């Protein structure tokens, strides 16, 4: 059984993370969801917890009833990490080595396992040279990306920036996990 970290960030596309979590769980994966504080403004952690049947991690400093260092233990047991949706903020943090919340610290602690990032943001933000530079930097570090699609965005603009289709994300992550088994 595959262990997948599902990072969910504060994009309007966060509601699609429920479908992603559900499909991964149906595929017999164990999903450990980590939500940024901003993500919880778009979708309730209870929704993700119900679908994954696992605790949803948000706060690095919450009172805990376990003895391990959670951001390290999650990173060590994961077969891969999927960040969907990924905002310009999390992409920038990771590209700059900033680890100031549960998701960024876990991703920074992942060693030798695939990290797949699915951007979702306004077209202007996605096409911004800083965002594109951060994406290229992360690719240089070995991170993989699923390109956003062109669509009508929540803000009313039409352009590239919508989260890739859920079935594309699921197929890609399962292909990556299948390749790891060979």
Quickly list DSSP for 66-130: --S-HHHHHHHH-SEEEEEEE-HHHHHHHHHT---SHHHHHHHH--SS-EEEEE---HHHHHSHH
User: Model pTM?
Assistant: 0.93
Protein fold of 3-181:
Rossmann fold (3.40.50)
* Catalytic residue ranges: 155
One pLDDT digit (tens) per residue for the chain, 182 residues:
899 999 999 999 999 999 999 999 999 999 999 999 999 999 999 999 999 999 999 987 766 555 555 567 788 889 999 999 999 999 999 999 999 999 999 999 999 999 999 999 999 999 999 999 999 999 999 999 999 999 887 878 898 999 999 999 999 999 999 866 43
């Amino acid at each position: 059984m595959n262990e997948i970290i599902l990072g969910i960030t504060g994009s309007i596309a966060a509601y699609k993370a429920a479908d992603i979590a559900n499909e991964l769980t149906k595929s017999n994966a164990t999903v450990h969801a980590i939500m940024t504080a901003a993500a919880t403004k778009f979708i309730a952690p209870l929704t993700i917890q119900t679908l994954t049947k696992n605790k949803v991690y948000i706060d690095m400093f919450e009172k805990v009833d376990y003895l391990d260092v959670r951001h390290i233990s999650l990173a060590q047991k994961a077969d891969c990490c999927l960040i969907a949706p990924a905002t310009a903020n999390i992409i920038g943090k990771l590209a700059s080595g900033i680890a100031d919340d549960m998701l960024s610290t876990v991703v920074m602690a992942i060693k030798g396992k695939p990290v797949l990032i699915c951007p979702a943001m306004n077209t202007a933000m996605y096409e911004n040279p800083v965002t594109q530079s951060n994406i290229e930097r992360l690719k240089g570090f070995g991170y993989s990306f699923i390109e956003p699609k062109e669509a009508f965005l929540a803000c009313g603009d039409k352009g590239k920036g919508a989260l890739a289709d859920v079935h594309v994300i699921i197929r890609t992550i399962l292909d990556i996990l299948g390749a790891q088994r060979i």
